[in-house]
Structure 1
Amino acid sequence: MTDITTPSRRIGSHVFLMVLLVAFLAPVVWALLSALKPANDIIRAPLTFDPSTVTLDNYIAMFRDVPIGQGFVNTGIVLVAKGAITMFFAPLAAFAFAKYRFVGKNVIFGAVLVTLMLPTIVLIIPLLLQMKEFGWVNTYQALILPGSVDAFAIFWMRQVISAVPDELLDAARVDGSGEFGIFWRVVVPVIRPGLAGLAVLTTMNIYNDFVWPVVVASSDRMATLQVMLSTLAQNITGNRIGADYATVTGELLAASSVALIPLLVLFILLQRHFINGILAGSVKG
């Protein structure tokens, strides 16, 4: 009985996963293909695609009407700086919580976890007032520093580092290694899958962040990619007199496709590391 039902269950699960795959990818494929269609065809026949009518006019017009390159530059700067801070300091804090005993450790870690329950909207006004006092509004400092070492990253890495055997750390201490040397030479090589998973999640979160950048970086010069995408329709109609609905839709799809490509490439290249990181982060501490 088991030999008969097991293959059928596997087939059923594969069919179910394929249905989910189609459901999730269909909007993405439609957007990518529609961006290559003439603007009027997107409105007139949105569910059809004729390869003979493929054109790059939507992309050319979008790059001409919208300074999306500046959005990529700002996002790249924030991503590199904020990601580096997260990837360095979050594992260090997690190492302390996972492998050291000190007074108030559980209370402090509990306070860190409590911040996960706070809605982002609750923190925006206090943070914005603080940035104003520092004179950091519309600066990279405001985009990078707040939230650069978040509670989730610390929790994630604590779960991963907790699985590292204490015997490895004790052996390194016997060999005369310092505490930071233990972290860098012993712990980091062991937790690379967890670090890879955190890197992918951190990249996605920073790249897709919208609420905080739109509040603290209101100028066009400091706008990140997501902020620029949110105001894309206004920029297109403002830079082109008489731009109709079809023109705006075509350029919006082109811009969305350009913004989507980096994340798709990142996930495809790091898929194996991301899955291993998810499994490493699921270890109980």
Structure 2
Amino acid sequence: MTSPSVTIRRRLPSVVTQVFLVVLALAFLAPVAWAVISAFKPAAQIINDPLGFDPSSATLDNFTRMFADVPIVRGFVNTAIVLALKGSLTLFFAPLAAYGFAKYDFRFKGLLFGTVLITLMLPTIVLIIPLLLEMKELGWVNTYQALVLPGAVDAFAIFWMRQVIAAVPNELLDAARVDGCTEFGIFWRIVLPVIRPALAGLAVLTVMNIYNDFVWPVVIASSDRMATLQVVLSSLAQNITGNRIGADYATVTGELLAAASIALVPLLLIFIVLQKHFINGILAGSVKG
């Protein structure tokens, strides 16, 4: 029979780990919770009593003023369009390219895949000027094409999907070929259902990357008509003070917190809905192929 002291020593590392994770989670969530709660406080109270909150004084004034001063709806619409188009391209062509690298042998395969991996090492800032000049020559500045096409099929997505697809048994694909399935049919009917968890994880990461992308949209979409949500948020304080003469610091802060709280909702909902698939997808992506 195991003595109590031995049991305690065995459980202690697990308890310490759980306590550490709880403290770490609280440290990450505390600023977010403060921002959301403060968005419902009167503007003056945010400055005068930043850590306090009286539920009886809760108000939606920050939200109503923010919607009146800032074109955040247009930012949401543009971001949704870019998400739908760019996300669809990524989730279709990245696994398709990865399937070719994982399951086919062809000349210069290693060289091509190495070239794809090398692009992971290039910082975004290095590519901005060449891409901007290319978009200008095509007449795509301030268009959805410029927001969607560059980076639609990124190297990380191809690399990750290749690692996952490489683990799919070749016997499964050969059996489909014997049954008369076409090569694209094998990819569509056999491979995609098998890698669905990893594909869901890629979908979450893709949505987060596109939703939070700022550098490229602020360069290529300089007009208010094409500004994405992150570009709108970056110029939010300027829009508030420009649309309202005499707007003070408290007013700007309240509306900033209101806008940030609203921008948080879509990502939060997506992660909650796809949380299980996201975790399974991350684990699937760690399989060595």
TM-score class normalised by the smaller sequence: over 0.9
CA gap of 1:84–1:2, structure 2 versus 1, over 3 A, is: farther
Deviation at 1:7, TM superposition (A): 1.2
Q: Given the alignment of the two structures, is residue 43 of structure 1 paired with residue 47 of structure 2, yes or no? A: yes
Deviation at 1:9, TM superposition (A): 1.2
Deviation at 1:49, TM superposition (A): 1.0
Q: Given the alignment of the two structures, is residue 240 of structure 1 paired with residue 247 of structure 2, yes or no? A: no
Q: Aligned to 1:7, what secondary structure does the other structure show?
A: helix
Paired position in structure 2 for 1:137: 141
Q: Aligned to 2:181, what secondary structure does the other structure show?
A: coil
Amino acid at match of 1:216: I
**Distance (Å, rounded) in 2 between the aligned partners of 1:139 and 1:186:** 37
Q: Given the alignment of the two structures, is residue 178 of structure 1 paired with residue 182 of structure 2, yes or no? A: yes
Q: Given the alignment of the two structures, is residue 125 of structure 1 paired with residue 129 of structure 2, yes or no? A: yes
Aligned 1:100-111 pairs, distance under 5 A = 100-111=104-115
Aligned 1:68-79 pairs, distance under 5 A = 68-79=72-83
Paired position in structure 2 for 1:152: 156
Paired position in structure 2 for 1:5: 9
**Distance (Å, rounded) in 1 between the aligned partners of 2:129 and 2:236:** 26
**Distance (Å, rounded) in 2 between the aligned partners of 1:6 and 1:139:** 60
Deviation at 1:2, TM superposition (A): 5.2
Paired position in structure 2 for 1:87: 91
**Distance (Å, rounded) in 2 between the aligned partners of 1:114 and 1:2:** 51
**Distance (Å, rounded) in 2 between the aligned partners of 1:68 and 1:4:** 54
State the TM-score, normalizing by the size of structure 1: 0.99
**Distance (Å, rounded) in 2 between the aligned partners of 1:2 and 1:28:** 40
Q: Aligned to 1:227, what secondary structure does the other structure show?
A: helix
1:34-81 per-residue CA deviation (whole Å, 9 max, x = no partner) reads 000000000001111111110000000000001100000000000000
Give RMSD over aligned pairs. 0.7
Paired position in structure 2 for 1:54: 58
Amino acid at match of 1:226: Q
Aligned 1:256-275 pairs, distance under 5 A = 256-275=260-279
Amino acid at match of 1:70: R
**Distance (Å, rounded) in 1 between the aligned partners of 2:271 and 2:230:** 19
Over 2 Å off, 4+ runs: 1-4
1:204 to 191, 194, 208: 208
Q: Aligned to 2:111, what secondary structure does the other structure show?
A: helix
Q: Percent identity?
A: 75
**Distance (Å, rounded) in 2 between the aligned partners of 1:4 and 1:231:** 55
Deviation at 1:3, TM superposition (A): 3.1
**Distance (Å, rounded) in 2 between the aligned partners of 1:46 and 1:106:** 57
**Distance (Å, rounded) in 1 between the aligned partners of 2:6 and 2:281:** 33
Q: Aligned to 1:138, what secondary structure does the other structure show?
A: coil
**Distance (Å, rounded) in 2 between the aligned partners of 1:75 and 1:58:** 23
Amino acid at match of 1:188: L
Q: Given the alignment of the two structures, is residue 168 of structure 1 paired with residue 185 of structure 2, yes or no? A: no
Q: Which runs of 5+ in 1 are unaligned?
A: none
Deviation at 1:263, TM superposition (A): 0.6
Q: Given the alignment of the two structures, is residue 64 of structure 1 paired with residue 64 of structure 2, yes or no? A: no
CA gap of 1:232–1:152, structure 2 versus 1, over 3 A, is: same
Q: Given the alignment of the two structures, is residue 19 of structure 1 paired with residue 23 of structure 2, yes or no? A: yes
**Distance (Å, rounded) in 2 between the aligned partners of 1:46 and 1:6:** 43
1:237-272 per-residue CA deviation (whole Å, 9 max, x = no partner) reads 000010000000000000000001111111111110
